Chains A and B, each alone.
Chain A
């Protein structure tokens, strides 16, 4: 059974960097065939697609976040990561990592989510 688990700090100060990791178990990122994704949800609001990455390192980003965002993959650790620079209160959200059924989108496997609050 594929499982994803987000980890990282729950509190980040404004203007600093938010870093999260998604650990994958029950399957190998390097087996290919999937674009592993990050999605976030501000409290009480809707879902926002952040970006996705293939095991080769090819990544796609939400244009509204692209200038501050880096998504990377570490196949040796079977995990992928998100780094968001210069955060503000608007980046406060539950951050989910997810894997699609195949290819991209159609996210079928999700982590439990991690709440990240941006506050001084």
Chain B
């Protein structure tokens, strides 16, 4: 069974600081996704990671994937208030019909 664990579940940080959100999954997967959700909104796709060692960056966010450790990280550099949101990681596997299994989410609050 595919399971996903995210930590921390809640993160309060000051503007300008760096931090990392961790996503562990239980079995090999084909894709790992990071999504952002603002309050009352739907999910916005941030990154899709496919292969070991994959690294993608968009603005102050950088995602990486270590398939051997079954670990992905979402690194936040020099946080700004606009990054406040809930971040979800999710994994999919073709043999499971490409459905997404989500982590619990990390609520990020950036204090100015």
Do A and B share a complex?
Answer: no
- Residues of B participating in the A interface, judged by any CB pair closer than 8 Å: none
